[in-house]
Amino acid sequence: MDIQKIGIVGAGQMGNGIAHVCALAGYDVVLNDISQDMLDKALALIDRNLERQVSRGKISDEEKQSAMARISTTLVLTELGPSDLIIEAATERETVKQAIFEDLLPHLKPETILTSNTSSISITRLASRTDRPEKFMGFHFMNPVPVMQLVELIRGIATDEATFAACKAVVDKLGKTAATAEDFPAFIVNRILMPMINEAVYTLYEGVGNVRSIDESLKLGANHPMGPLELADFIGLDTCLAIMNVLHDGLADTKYRPCPLLTKYVEAGWLGRKTERGFYDYRGDTPVPTR
């Protein structure tokens, strides 16, 4: 299938990044959200990020202007109906995602491919609630989307080869690298990454090290560009907890039990950078550890 028009559901952290790279690659993009404020902020952020690429000589000003011109926005979900490919990038809650696909279905073309940017939810289960499980895939971008090279492509049990090939062609056109993952809880990246973050929180919880020493140990001792607790704040502690719960519930193994301290931070509303407090306090000029 020749994909030319891409509909994106959700203008948040992931959705605006996906819109950025798709428009820059030459696709017509329709970006949807339930909030006009979110759509306005997304367009402003895309413009700033493209301008940064211009200033670094990675793209021309003409390419930036063309990319911005390819992005339109809408508050009406059903206006994504004529898209060739839809990428759902809404909040990481299965009931929300199911409701979005349910509302979209009557307005889609028969050949439209549906995908989800979910970081952990079963693709097979999401697909089974639609009228086209064979045309449904996981399309998992990494954050921040314009910078990170990897896209996980996850087949549900019913996904056909033509759908996979079409999505792989999109990844190639974006200049990114596809990794094929099977549909098991959290796929590849988060299956490995989240237990590491969770173990770092246990290390803090048990008093083995403080926030600073844990992050410095992994940065300098394992050559990680960012410490695990700093990374958790960047991702969002609520997202980390949600993925750990998916792993724990889906694999029924106690090694995936979320650390009680992670749960406590989420209960406090200390979700990381987006709330200005997590394992670090971001309200001052420099981040300060909270433990």
Number of helical (H) and strand (E) elements in the chain, helices listed first = 11, 10
- Report pLDDT digits (tens) over 70-121: 999 999 999 999 999 999 999 888 999 999 999 999 999 999 999 999 988 9
Annotated ligand binding at 143? The verdict is yes
Mean pLDDT over 120-139 rounds to 96
Q: How confident is the model at residue 258 (pLDDT cuts 50, 70, 90)?
A: very high
Annotated ligand binding at 33? The verdict is yes
Backbone torsions φ then ψ of 278, nearest 5 degrees: -160, -125
3-state per-residue secondary structure call for 66-81: HHHHCEEEECCHHHHC
Count Cβ atoms below 10 Å from residue 273 Cβ, excluding itself: 18
Q: What percent of the chain has pLDDT over 70?
A: 100
Q: How confident is the model at residue 34 (pLDDT cuts 50, 70, 90)?
A: very high
Mean pLDDT over 215-226 rounds to 98
Contact 247, 195 (CB under 8 A): yes
Which one, of 37, 36, 276, lies nearest residue 268 by Cα? 276
Spell out the domains of the chain, with CATH numbers in brackets: 5-182 (3.40.50.720), 190-289 (1.10.1040.10)
The 10 Å CB-count burial string (b at 16+, else e) for 40-75 is: eebbebbeebbeebeeeeebeeebbeebbebbebee
Annotated ligand binding at 11? The verdict is yes
Residue 214 pLDDT > 90: yes
| pLDDT (0 to 100) of residue 212 | 98
Establish whether the linkage from the previous residue to 144 is cis, with ω within 30° of 0.
Answer: yes
Annotated ligand binding at 276? The verdict is no
The pTM assigned to this predicted structure is 0.90
Which one, of 117, 10, 25, lies nearest residue 70 by Cα? 25
Strands (E), the chain: 5-9, 28-32, 71-74, 85-88, 113-116, 136-141, 150-155, 177-181, 280-281, 288-289
Q: How confident is the model at residue 8 (pLDDT cuts 50, 70, 90)?
A: very high
- Report pLDDT digits (tens) over 176-204: 999 999 999 999 999 999 999 999 999 99
Annotated ligand binding at 207? The verdict is no
How far apart (Å, rounded) are the C-alpha atoms in residues 135 and 30? 20
| Active-site residue list | 119, 140, 152, 190
Rounded CA Rg of the chain: 19
Contact 150, 189 (CB under 8 A): yes
| pLDDT (0 to 100) of residue 1 | 74
How far apart (Å, rounded) are the C-alpha atoms in residues 273 and 234? 6
Annotated ligand binding at 274? The verdict is yes
Q: Which residues pair with 140 in a beta bridge?
A: 152
Classify burial at 230, counting beta carbons within 10 Å of its beta carbon; exposed 0-12, middle 13-18, buried 19 or more. buried
Annotated ligand binding at 12? The verdict is yes
Annotated ligand binding at 92? The verdict is yes
Residue 206 pLDDT > 80: yes
| pLDDT (0 to 100) of residue 120 | 85
